[in-house]
């Protein structure tokens, strides 16, 4: 009887609002790793319309190198919240990491447009981003633009030289 009672109490605690709050906090914690993945998945299972949970889980997948799952989560976040600039930006960077520079350019351009509409050019950067991380994101976006346009520029050698600094070549 005690085991049954303990099991009931444990399940009530796990399903309690306190547990849901903990999951939301863990899902939004940038340093949580696997805990963040699990917490975001639980938030999504209880609140499937939570775009931020999809975005945060996507960021964690991206950090782990699981680009396909990251793309799926960023796309779902955008589906749920069409003006989610950070999700467009992150999805664009994942497209770039996979070598799909045209989609990457489209997404980072849309993210920039949304940031300008809101009057927040730095709204696409994580709130706790270090100066080094901010610089890496900005350089990544420049590389996305350059690589997306480079194949078109190769037909005109003068324009190719214009883009060479962004490709990492001298």
* pLDDT for the residue 26: 83
Structure-token match 């976006």, residue found: 141
Contact residues for 115 (Cβ-Cβ < 8 A; gap 6+) = 85, 121, 122, 123, 124
State the Cα–Cα distance between residues 99 and 108, nearest whole angstrom.
Answer: 14
Please report, for residues 26, 133, 164, the alpha-carbon distance to residue 31 in angstroms, rounded to integers and kept in the order given: 9, 14, 36
State the Cα–Cα distance between residues 97 and 107, nearest whole angstrom.
Answer: 13
Other CB atoms closer than 10 Å to residue 134's CB: what's the count?
14
pLDDT tens for the chain, 170 residues: list them. Answer: 555 544 544 444 444 444 557 888 888 877 767 888 999 999 999 999 999 999 999 999 999 999 999 999 999 999 999 999 999 999 999 999 999 999 999 999 999 999 988 886 555 555 455 555 555 555 566 666 555 555 454 445 454 444 333 444 44
- For CA atoms 87, 84, 167, 130, the dihedral sign is negative
* pLDDT for the residue 75: 97
* pLDDT for the residue 164: 36
Please state the domain extents for the chain: 2-167
With CA atoms as reference, report the closest residue to 74 among 92, 89, 57, 55. Answer: 55
Other CB atoms closer than 10 Å to residue 34's CB: what's the count?
9
- Superfamily classification of domain 2-167: Tetratricopeptide repeat domain (1.25.40.10)
């Amino acid at each position: 009887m005690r085991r049954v009672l303990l099991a009931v109490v444990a399940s009530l605690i796990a399903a309690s609002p306190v547990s849901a709050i903990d999951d939301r906090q863990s899902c939004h914690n940038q340093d949580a790793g696997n805990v963040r993945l699990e917490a975001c998945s639980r938030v999504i299972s209880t609140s499937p319309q939570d775009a931020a949970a999809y975005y945060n889980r996507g960021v964690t997948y991206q950090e782990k190198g699981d680009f396909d799952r990251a793309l799926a989560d960023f796309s779902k976040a955008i589906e749920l919240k069409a003006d989610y600039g950070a999700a467009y930006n992150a999805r664009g960077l994942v497209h770039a990491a996979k070598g799909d520079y045209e989609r990457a350019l489209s997404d980072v351009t849309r993210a920039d447009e949304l940031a300008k509409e809101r009057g927040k050019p730095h709204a696409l950067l994580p709130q706790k981003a270090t100066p080094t991380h901010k610089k890496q994101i900005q350089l990544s976006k420049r590389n996305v633009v350059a690589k997306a346009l480079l194949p078109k520029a190769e037909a005109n050698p003068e324009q190719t030289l214009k883009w060479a600094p962004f490709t990492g070549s001298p």
